[in-house]
């Protein structure tokens, strides 16, 4: 087990949890690159928006665990929200450009 604070027996997480999270981030990066090459540009960009920071943060936590158990989960939610907002913006912009002007 990885303990962040010496003297406390509170377990923050195991190294295997953070390595598994890093593996998920790495797979998201691979899927993103694959989608970019196969003309699924929007999906590929979303996968990269979520995958790259998730991978880097997970690797960072392998060497320096967080103080809070939920920190990685909260970061994943924030990245998911960022990706959702990106997709929503792209669809709104595409719809706006195809609508005829009403003047």
- Give the chain's domain count: 1
The residue segments making up the domain with residue 40 are 13-64
Taking only the tens place, the pLDDT of each residue in 8-52 is 444 556 777 778 878 888 888 888 888 888 777 777 877 787 788
Residue 78 inside a domain? The answer is no
Residue 5 inside a domain? The answer is no
Taking only the tens place, the pLDDT of each residue in 28-40 is 888 888 888 877 7
Residue 77 inside a domain? The answer is no
What tokens were used for 73? 């989960």
What is the rounded distance in angstroms from the CA atom of residue 23 to the CA atom of residue 15?
12
Residue 45 inside a domain? The answer is yes
Confidence check: pLDDT of 58 > 60: yes
Residue 59 inside a domain? The answer is yes
Q: What is the DSSP string of the chain?
A: -B-SSTT-----B-HHHHHHHHHHHHHHHHHHHHHHHTT-HHHHHHHHHHHHHHHHHHHHHHHS--SSTTHHHHHHHHHHHHHHHHHHHHHHHHHHHHSPP--
Residue 92 inside a domain? The answer is no
Range 72-87 average pLDDT: 75
Residue 84 inside a domain? The answer is no
Residue 80 inside a domain? The answer is no
Predicted local distance difference test score (pLDDT) of residue 8: 47
């Amino acid at each position: 087990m990885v303990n962040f604070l010496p003297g406390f027996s509170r377990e923050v997480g195991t190294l295997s949890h953070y390595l598994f999270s890093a593996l998920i981030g790495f797979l998201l990066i691979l899927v993103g690159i694959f989608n970019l090459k196969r003309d699924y540009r929007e999906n590929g960009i979303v996968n990269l928006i979520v995958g790259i920071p998730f991978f880097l943060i997970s690797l960072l936590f392998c060497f320096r665990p967080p103080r809070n158990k939920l920190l990685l989960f909260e970061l994943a939610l924030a990245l998911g929200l960022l990706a959702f907002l990106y997709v929503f913006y792209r669809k709104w912009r595409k719809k706006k450009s195809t609508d005829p002007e009403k003047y």
